[in-house]
Amino acid sequence: MSANTVNPDHCLFAVPKKGRLYEKVTAMLKGAGVEYHREPRLDIAICKDLPMTMVFLPASDISKYVGEGNVDIGVTGIDIVEENCSEVERVMDLGFGACRLCVQAPVASQITDVKDLAGKRIVTSFPTLTKKFFDPIDAEKGVTTSIRFVSGSVEAACGLGLADAVVDLVETGTTMKAAGLEVVGTVLQTESILITNPDSKHKKIVELLKHRIEGYITSKKFVMVSYNCSADILDAVSSITPGKRSPTITALTDGGHAVSSLVSKKEIVRVMDDLHAAGARDILVFELSNSRM
Ligand X SMILES: O=P(O)(O)OC[C@H]1O[C@H](OP(=O)(O)OP(=O)(O)O)[C@H](O)[C@@H]1O
CB 210 within 8 A of CB 92: yes
- What's phi and psi for 276, nearest 5 deg? -65, -45
Smaller CB distance to ligand X: residue 157 or 194? 157
User: What, of ligand X, ligand ATP, none, does residue 174 touch, CB below 5 to 8 Å by kind?
Assistant: ligand X
Supply the minimum distance, in Å, between the C-beta of residue 268 and ligand X.
27
Nearest C-alpha neighbor of 141 from the set 121, 123, 165, 114: 114
**CA distance to 133, 230, 231, 237, 250, per residue, from 253 (Å):** 67, 11, 12, 19, 10
| Distance between CA atoms of residues 35 and 18, nearest Å | 18
Three-state DSSP string of 92-152: EECCCCCEEEEEEEEHHHCCCCHHHHCCCEEEECCHHHHHHHHHHHHHHHCCCCEEEECCC
Q: How buried is residue 262: exposed, middle or buried, by Cβ count under 10 Å (0-12/13-18/19+)?
A: buried
Q: In this complex, which beta carbon is closest to ligand ATP, that of residue 81 or of residue 105?
A: 81
**Interaction site with ligand X (CB under 6 A):** 19-20, 152-153, 155, 168-176
Q: Could you tell me the smallest distance in angstroms from the CB atom of residue 21 to ligand ATP? A: 5
CB of 190 to ligand ATP, least distance (A): 5
Pairing outcome for strands 165-170 and 192-196? unpaired
Question: Which of 268, 200, 198 lies closest to 240, judged by CA?
Answer: 268
Nearest-approach distance from CB 26 to ligand X, in angstroms: 16
* Residue 275 touches which member of ligand X, ligand ATP, none, C-beta under 5-8 Å by kind: none
Total of residues contacting ligand ATP (CB under 6 A):
16
Min CB(107)–ligand ATP separation in Å: 20
43 binds ligand ATP (CB under 6 A): no
**Cβ distance 13 to 55 under 8 Å?**
yes
Q: Quote the least distance from Cβ 86 to ligand X, whole Å.
A: 20
Select from 58, 95, 106, 215 the one that contacts ligand ATP (CB under 6 A): 58
**Torsion-angle region of 119 (φ positive above 0: left; ψ -120 to 50: alpha; else: beta):** left
Is 79 a binding residue for ligand ATP by CB under 6 A? The answer is yes
**Residue 19 or 242 with smaller CB distance to ligand X:** 19
Smallest separation (angstroms) from ligand X to the CB of 192: 13
Residue 119 contact, options ligand ATP, ligand X, none, Cβ 5-8 Å cut-off depending on partner type: none
Tell me if 276 sits within 8 A of 237, measured CB to CB: no
Question: Which range in 73-81, 237-245, 267-275, 285-293 contacts ligand ATP by CB under 6 A?
Answer: 73-81
Helix (H) or strand (E) holding 286, with range, is: strand 281-287
Instruction: Select from 67, 74, 97, 256 the one that contacts ligand ATP (CB under 6 A).
Output: 97
With CB under 6 A as the contact rule, the residue among 6, 19, 143, 281 that binds ligand ATP is 19
Does 104 bind ligand ATP (CB under 6 A)? Our answer is no
* Integer Cα distance of 140 and 137 in angstroms: 5
Nearer to ligand ATP, 72 or 82 (CB): 82
Q: Using CB under 6 A as the criterion, which residues of the chain lie in contact with ligand ATP when the complex forms? A: 18-21, 58-60, 77, 79-80, 97, 99, 152, 169, 171, 190
